[in-house]
Amino acid sequence: MKVISSFIIAFFLMNSYASSQLEASLSSSEVVLGDSLTLTIKVIHEAADEPFVSFLPVNAEVINKRQSRSTRAFLQGGQLVEERATTNVYELQPVKGGYVHIRQIKADIDKKVLKHKSLRAKVVKEARKPKDFFMKAELSKDEVFVGEAVDVNYYLYSKRDTTMHVIKKFPLLKDFLKRFEIPRSQRERVNLGGELYYRQLMYKARAYPTKTGELKIDPITLEFKYADYRNRRRDIFGMSMQFSTGRYKERTLRSKIEKLKVLPLPVEGVPKNFTGLVGKHNFNLSISSEKVIVNDALEARLEVTGEGALEKFDPVRLFDDTYFESFDPKAEVSEINALETKKIIDYTYLAKKSGTIPQRVLKLSYFDPEKREYVETDLTIPEISIFGSGTKSETIASNDVKQSNTSAPKDLSDSEEEIEKLVGPFYREKDIRVFDLKILNLILFLILVAIIFFPGFKKFIFSGRKVKTLGPKDLNYKNLHDYLLYYFPEGDNLRDRIEKSPLPPATKLYFKDLLTKAEKNEYKSEKNKLEYNKRHMKEVVKALNGSH
């Protein structure tokens, strides 16, 4: 009985999901008398028959009509379902002032009648005066796949000069993995609806949707000041009696909420090696050495560049545990340009057993939204030979080539047998003293005397740039990232720069832990508390400027 009821429920759920839908919208909520208005009616259905659409226009006439059709296929309940969409676009002409009403919107399809609520638009005699200022969020794409990158630019449009821009409320974009950027203050001249405006980019985000459907693009709130010249006093000849730039007024604007349609990735043809990345990507693998001794380390680096959300790309497995002991890989994400990002993953392995790992090809794949298909790429892992006193592998000592201890020795001069796996001697570098120790001690003694007895020399030696410290309110990933890049220039990544810095060990651990928490807050939307430690911040100043 439970099986039958479950089947009935699943059957009704499938039918309800695949049921027909009716969508209707007007191009604007307000239209000027004499201009046209667009009505769009879209019917989504499975039946092959064309739907019959009808509506009742009030205070408007239909002056044009066009129709388009589209189909798409998807898997539902293990079955291939074909969905059709018929879109009718009507151009309406208002008759007089007041309101245009669209009533009794219906669609007859597959012996069913679909209905939609009435729509209306206000008819005005004259167009509204263009605004002097407004904020607008502009998207690089109107429709994307889940995980695909979309750029969100927040612009300030103004007809006057503005200054002292302050963002009062930032957009959250909670349904996105995002990277934010406050761009340089540059403005351009644009024509918008026949009106000239200054357009200035105030805030920029590269966002990756994490779920499907119609997602909301949060607004931004901006505060700025502008010069008001209308209240300047003039003399009897109409000339201005003030030569200043006028009185400044303050204004606060908020952009409108925008919508983004997010499609799911195709379920057909998903490869097992799919990395989850959407967009074009390149993979590059480098290994420190193809020959290693037991108990020595082998290092590998995987570089992934592309336009996808690399923060969610997990390190792939290069070697199994047969020959190597593996350590947790270290990863860091950095931006190359406005469109591409690079993720560097550093692997460290410790050889524990002699043998040979044959060359193999590691296949990785990503989804190309332009071609709408999965693209597979090959990553070649070279042959690795491990030598030493560890347990021999069958690839090194085969039973077919073992010799008896009692066999007679061979004459090497007559032997044509090739000697394999012969490795040359390994040499260690030896430090060579370049300067004589007595001369070096004399130089250090003279420098010490100059520092003690000549303050000017001391100032010359220890003078440098003034080191600034982060405040408690400055602790976020962006500020910490820029701070470490600026003051600690040596190293391949941020953690390497911290490790190579002259900071004390405790301060190094503090900054590494702070960086880890900040990265999780930024890229994984966690809420780790970033604790401010004044003592460790002072250690940065001491290490760079010296405590003299």
**CATH code at 201?**
2.60.40
Region of poorest pLDDT, from 276-280, 334-338, 544-548: 544-548
**Are residues 116 and 181 located together in one domain of the fold?**
no
Specify the pLDDT at position 125: 82
- What is the share, in percent, of the chain residues with pLDDT greater than 70? 79
Judgement on whether residues 320 and 216 belong to the same structural domain of the protein: no
Q: Could you tell me the maximum CA-CA distance found in the chain, to the nearest angstrom? A: 126
Q: Which residue matches tokens 């390497």?
A: 496
Residue at 358 is within a domain: yes
Domain membership of residue 12 (yes or no) is no
Percent of the chain with pLDDT over 90: 33
Each residue's pLDDT tens digit, 227-240: 876 555 554 454 44
Q: What number is the average pLDDT over the span 12-25?
A: 64
The verdict on 165 and 82 lying in the same domain is: no
Domain that residue 456 falls in: 441-545
Given the structure tokens 């030569």, which residue do they identify?
243
Convert the pLDDT of each residue in 282-316 to its tens digit. Answer: 999 999 989 999 888 899 999 999 988 988 888 88
Q: Which two tokens stand for residue 452?
A: 């003690």
Single out the residue in 72, 105, 124 at which a domain terminates: 124
Question: Which pLDDT score, from 0 to 100, does residue 264 have?
Answer: 92
CATH of the domain at 68: 2.60.120.570
The beta-carbon contacts of 463-469 under 8 Å, at least 24 apart in sequence, are: 464/544, 464/545, 466/545, 467/540, 467/541, 467/544, 467/545, 469/537, 469/538, 469/540, 469/541
Torsion of Cα atoms, 473 then 477 then 483 then 488, to 10°: 140
Angle at 255 between CA 251 and CA 257, to 5 degrees: 155
Mean pLDDT over 52-70 rounds to 91
Mean pLDDT: which of 62-76, 79-93, 145-159, 320-334 is highest? 145-159
**Per-residue pLDDT at 443:** 81
Residues 240, 299: one domain?
no
* CB-CB contact of 178 with 205 (8 Å): yes
Predicted local confidence at residue 476, as pLDDT: 85
Residue 533 confidence (pLDDT) above 80: yes
Domain boundary among 347, 363, 387: 387
Greatest mean pLDDT range, 429-443, 447-461, 524-538? 524-538
220 and 117, same domain (yes or no): no
Q: Are strands 384-387 and 291-293 parallel, antiparallel or unpaired?
A: parallel
In a domain, 159, yes or no: yes
This prediction's pTM = 0.52
**Assigned domain for 400 exists:** no
Residues 142 and 239 in one domain: yes
Q: Same domain for 254 and 150?
A: yes
30 is a domain residue: yes
Domain count, the chain: 4
Using the predicted structure, report yes or no on whether residue 197 has a pLDDT greater than 70. Answer: yes
pLDDT of residue 194: 80
**In the structure, what pLDDT confidence band is assigned to residue 260 with cuts at 50, 70 and 90?**
very high
In a shared domain, residues 374 and 447: no
11-25, 259-273, 413-427: segment of lowest average pLDDT: 413-427
Question: What average pLDDT does range 423-451 have in this prediction?
Answer: 63
User: End of a domain among 65, 97, 124?
Assistant: 124
Mean pLDDT in the chain? Answer: 80
Indicate whether 326 belongs to any domain.
yes
State how far Cα 449 lies from the chain centre: 55
CA torsion 142-145-149-155 (nearest 10°) is 20
Q: Is the pLDDT of residue 67 over 70?
A: yes
Q: What does 477-521 look like in DSSP terms, one character per residue?
A: HHHHHHHHHHH---SSSHHHHHHHSS--HHHHHHHHHHHHHHHHH
pLDDT higher than threshold 60 for residue 463: no
d(CA 493, CA 481): 10
Task: Report which of residues 439 and 255 the model is more confident about.
Answer: 255
pLDDT band with cut points at 50, 70 and 90 for residue 262: very high
Q: Is residue 392 domain-resident?
A: no
Residue closest to 221 by CA, chosen among 251, 255, 187 = 255
Q: What is the pLDDT of residue 147?
A: 93
Residue 219: name the closest of 178, 164, 169 by CA: 169
Residue 285 and residue 243 share a domain: no
Of 182 and 202, the one with more pLDDT: 202
d(CA 222, CA 202): 9
448, containing H or E segment: helix 437-453
Q: Is the pLDDT of residue 169 over 50?
A: yes
Give tens-digit pLDDT for 362-419. 999 999 999 889 999 999 999 999 997 655 444 433 334 334 343 444 443 444 444 4
**pLDDT score of 522 more than 60:** yes
pLDDT in tens, 495-508: 888 888 888 888 88
* Pair 157, 256 in one domain: yes
Classify residue 427: in a domain, yes or no.
no
3-state secondary structure 368-409: ECCCCEEEEEEEEECCEEEECCCCCCCCCCCHHHCCCCCCCC
Answer yes or no: do 213 and 101 share one domain: no
Q: Does one domain contain both 257 and 138?
A: yes
Residue 454's pLDDT band, with cuts at 50, 70 and 90, is low
Q: Are 279 and 375 in contact (CB under 8 A)?
A: no
